[in-house]
Amino acid sequence: MIPLLSGSAAHMLDKLSWSSSANPPPIPRWGLEPYEHEPAHGFFLRLAALNGQQATPAFAMSLGLNGRNIDPQQMLQFCKQLPIPGTERLCAATPSIAKSSVYIRGEHLRLGRDWSIRHRRYCLACLNEKSFHRFWFDLPIVRVCPIHQIELASERRSMKWAWHYPLQTSDMAICKTDAALTKADPGLRFSSYILGRLGVLQPSRISLLDNLRLSEAVYLCSIIGKMLIHGWKPAESSRHESSQDQQFMEAGHNFLDENGSLSDLLERHIRESPYCVDGVFGCKDIQKNLGWWYYALYTKQYRRGLDFLMEDTNRVLEKFGACRRLRRKFPVAENEPSAREIATALGLRIDEVIQLAKWNSRIPECGLEEFEAETIKRRSSRMISAETAADVLGVSRKRFASMRSHGIFAPVIKDAGGKSGQYDRNEIEEILATIKSRVPTLSKSAGLVDFDIYRAKACCSYSKAVADVLSGAVAVDGWDITKPGLQAVLVSAPVRTRNYSGRGRLPKHPSPRIAQVL
């Protein structure tokens, strides 16, 4: 067992003279002096031991303190009442907690991730030197002790901070084995940096991080490390694995410590995006292009000092053609992207090329790998205007537009600025072929109507009638070869519910009787 109380301190201050005019301390023994880097809640631990207490929470509660949810500042106030020297050391090492923020020595940290007393953590070698709790034991981001180069041990037998549990010899054995293994650990430099910022060690200078609040510096390290280790990935599901965060932070810190170029890393990272082909995005959606990186940047809590990251990211986005608005902000890239060359060669606009590259008639999400001039050319030659497509289908422009908004087909190149979209001839012809393939060999001849009459009798839109046939909900019963396109399709008339002229608008609200029949 590690003694929590060094022998010399145990009997020191009980002999101290005590002014009778002041209120006596509320505990029988207080003969301890705070060490440097010792927080009030750590000091309180020794105080409890000095007073023969086994369970620190109970001891705290007996003094009117919150022993269940430890508030370091509350304990500091208590300790300051004691007639002991060196309380300024407690003040300097005791964090103050406000909502989800923790402040220690003027540095801002995040509660939970950066600072937590959920489990008791300690460096065995530190305790062997002097048995007291250092405030930085409470920082889970400090995985290894930079002074002794061993991993911090943690006690997890209690969910709450179980001060009263003594260390077991088996724990010490584990610590000793670890000590041999963690030489040259990647976490050493990171831990040293953190403790440098907190005034425990000589500060190490990393200008990029030094200008940030410590919580933001840690965040920056973790996202850089994630870029290095995790690489480009689409945005994750809401289940967040934090198990690797520590590894990320350390890797990110070491990258910056070795003067790694963040801009280069960023560009390399974004190039890994599957949406980026030959340095051009096939899709302008920033969220998609950046994957998880988007949320890393736009999560507001941590954005305060990270504007430069936003700028660098925007620069890459602009360079790869993700956002038009940024073009004026940054000069045009010196290397002409291949999309531009293809556009010039084929007489297309650059966004048309990108849309053609993105498009795949079978799997709309895929097709980005098709980004060669030949493919674009082949696809481009299949494009027809809305007018031509409407003629192929044998419908008016209005009906064509209605079918499009009904989702029966989609343009390959979207309409932009008054210019109508472009459609794939194959896809349009496929619609007709699909319907024609359903025509039975022995077609009925009586009671068949075309879409125009059908939709009026069924009181549905033309598009709905077509969609129903395509989905198989309505059977195709005949084909009039004398008519063009969809006009040739013949289906069985729905139950006749009223006289129909074959012309005119559909009634806005079909009568209940008609609706019932349908």
Partner DNA sequence: GCATTTTGTGATGTCAAGCT
Partner DNA sequence: AGCTTGACATCACAAAATGC
Q: How far is the CB of 413 from DNA (least distance, A)?
A: 10
What is the distance between the alpha carbons of residues 223 and 208, in angstroms, rounded to a whole number?
Answer: 14
Token pair in block for residue 42? 């750590």
SS3 366: coil
Contacts of 77 (CB under 8 A, 6+ apart): none
Q: 53 vs 215, which CB is nearer to DNA?
A: 215
Q: How far is the CB of 188 from DNA (least distance, A)?
A: 24
Q: How far is the CB of 223 from DNA (least distance, A)?
A: 10
Q: How far is the CB of 6 from DNA (least distance, A)?
A: 30
Q: How far is the CB of 292 from DNA (least distance, A)?
A: 5
Q: How far is the CB of 288 from DNA (least distance, A)?
A: 9
- Specify the DSSP class assigned to residue 235: P
Q: 285 vs 430, which CB is nearer to DNA?
A: 285
DSSP letters for 194-230 = HHHHTTSSPPPP-HHHHTS-HHHHHHHHHHHHHHHHT
Q: 328 vs 505, which CB is nearer to DNA?
A: 328
Q: Facing residues of 449 across strands?
A: 491
Token pair in block for residue 437? 């393939």
What is the distance between the alpha carbons of residues 454 and 502, in angstroms, rounded to a whole number?
Answer: 9
Q: 287 vs 344, which CB is nearer to DNA?
A: 287
Q: 34 vs 225, which CB is nearer to DNA?
A: 225
Q: Facing residues of 387 across strands?
A: none
Q: 5 vs 323, which CB is nearer to DNA?
A: 323
What does the binding site for DNA look like in residue numbers (CB under 7 A)? 99-100, 110-112, 116, 118, 235-240, 242, 284-287, 292, 295-296, 298-299, 301-302, 314, 322-328, 349, 351, 414-419
Answer yes or no: are the C-beta atoms of 230 and 240 closer than 8 Å. Answer: no
Q: 100 vs 128, which CB is nearer to DNA?
A: 100
DSSP letters for 37-77 = T--HHHHHHHHHHHTT-S-HHHHHHHTTS-SSS--HHHHHH
Q: 133 vs 315, which CB is nearer to DNA?
A: 315
Q: How far is the CB of 324 from DNA (least distance, A)?
A: 4
Q: Which of 427, 424, 518 is nearest to 465 (CA)?
A: 518
Q: How far is the CB of 310 from DNA (least distance, A)?
A: 8
DSSP letters for 170-182 = HHHHHHHHHHHH-
Answer yes or no: are the C-beta atoms of 25 and 83 closer than 8 Å. Answer: yes
Q: How far is the CB of 281 from DNA (least distance, A)?
A: 9
Q: 201 vs 326, which CB is nearer to DNA?
A: 326
Indicate the angle between helix axes 262-271 and 307-319, nearest 10 degrees. Answer: 50
Answer yes or no: are the C-beta atoms of 113 and 214 closer than 8 Å. Answer: no
What is the distance between the alpha carbons of residues 190 and 217, in angstroms, rounded to a whole number?
Answer: 11
| Residue 467, H or E segment | helix 462-471
Q: How far is the CB of 396 from DNA (least distance, A)?
A: 18
- Tell how strand 422-424 and strand 144-145 pair up: unpaired
Q: 122 vs 132, which CB is nearer to DNA?
A: 122
Burial class (CB in 10 A: 0-12, 13-18, 19+), 113: buried
